[in-house]
């Protein structure tokens, strides 16, 4: 056997050489592993519960009725003329997907440290699988929303007025997944060294929800504060979704463009930090 034949390897593992380098081709080659992670996440979530996947319905229903009682009836916060159940459920469904992507992704490197220390695979495969597996939960909850929305659309036509921008729904979902993924990866990279961020993010995500028009329409906020709410990149997406399905809210190409730019910059920063931390994170977790 010649030396040239000896130098031919089936697989070469090389360190990431640059801060902007992400081997997307390699991640695609590990798609079977990502699918396995997705199956694990979906099955393990409610494997030892009595109701199982029914919890996917229970949580948004209970949350919606709690908001109706507290914010709609007791506090008397207007929903802009649309049925309260649709108003709150639309915001909750989209927000839950963003929140789950962010929280679970932000913990993935710490929770999988034993796996990362034993076998090689693209580390981004783990958070990518979380974003995909959360689509399963989102799909169930969104089906619930669509069922109630269809009821009002057919029997209570004057209470909802969908717009042609419904076709942009995949864009809304892409923006929410991108915002959750990029922020989660950034936080996960930082928590390998600064564990306090794990506690901060749990508290911060609750504050962020109230800075997003989930339980109130953007219109009722004082004008001098609306620009602050619109600095939140999630605001434009939630408002666009409500406008598209319910006819209530604000649809703005500029707002969606801002959310996309914010997501892109955030993703770029998270990749830079991730590539920097990846080389030594097993020594710090």
pLDDT at site 52: 64
User: pLDDT, tens digit, for every residue of 102-150?
Assistant: 988 888 777 777 777 777 777 888 889 999 999 988 998 999 999 999 9
User: pLDDT, tens digit, for every residue of 168-210?
Assistant: 999 999 999 999 999 998 888 888 777 777 778 888 888 899 8
pLDDT at site 95: 94
CA dist 7 and 11 (Å) reads: 11
Would you say 277 and 192 are in contact if contact means Cβ atoms under 8 Å apart?
A: yes
CA dist 51 and 74 (Å) reads: 31
CA distances from 232 to 217, 238, 241, 264 (A): 14, 11, 15, 15
CA dist 87 and 134 (Å) reads: 22
pLDDT at site 277: 77
Would you say 183 and 266 are in contact if contact means Cβ atoms under 8 Å apart?
A: yes
pLDDT at site 281: 61
Q: Is residue 5 pLDDT above 60, yes or no?
A: no
CA dist 236 and 234 (Å) reads: 6
Q: Is residue 2 pLDDT above 70, yes or no?
A: no
CA dist 141 and 252 (Å) reads: 26
User: pLDDT, tens digit, for every residue of 219-260?
Assistant: 888 888 888 899 999 999 999 999 999 988 889 999 999 999
């Amino acid at each position: 056997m010649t030396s040239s034949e000896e130098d031919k390897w089936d697989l070469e593992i090389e360190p990431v050489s640059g801060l902007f380098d992400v081997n997307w081709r390699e991640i695609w080659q590990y798609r079977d592993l990502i699918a396995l992670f997705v199956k694990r996440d979906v099955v393990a979530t409610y494997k030892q519960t009595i109701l199982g996947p029914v919890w996917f319905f229970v949580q948004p229903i209970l949350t919606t009725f709690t908001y109706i009682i507290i914010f709609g009836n007791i506090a008397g916060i207007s929903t802009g003329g649309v049925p309260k159940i649709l108003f709150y459920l639309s915001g909750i469904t989209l927000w839950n997907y963003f929140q789950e992507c962010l929280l679970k992704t932000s913990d993935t490197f710490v929770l999988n440290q034993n796996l990362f220390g034993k076998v090689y695979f693209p580390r981004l495969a783990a958070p990518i699988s979380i974003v995909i597996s959360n689509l399963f939960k989102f799909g169930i909850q969104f089906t619930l929303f669509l069922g109630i929305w269809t009821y009002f659309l057919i029997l209570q036509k004057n209470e909802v007025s969908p717009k042609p921008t419904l076709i942009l729904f995949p864009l809304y979902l892409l923006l929410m997944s991108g915002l959750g993924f990029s922020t989660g990866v950034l936080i996960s990279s930082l928590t390998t060294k600064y564990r306090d961020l794990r506690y901060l993010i749990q508290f911060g995500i609750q504050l962020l929800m109230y800075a997003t028009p989930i339980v109130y329409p953007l219109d009722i906020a004082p004008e001098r504060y609306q620009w602050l709410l619109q600095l939140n990149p999630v605001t434009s997406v939630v408002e666009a979704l409500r406008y598209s399905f319910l006819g209530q809210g604000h649809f703005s190409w500029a707002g969606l463009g801002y959310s996309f730019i914010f997501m892109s910059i955030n993703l770029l920063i998270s990749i830079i930090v991730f590539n920097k931390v990846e080389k030594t994170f097993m020594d710090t977790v």
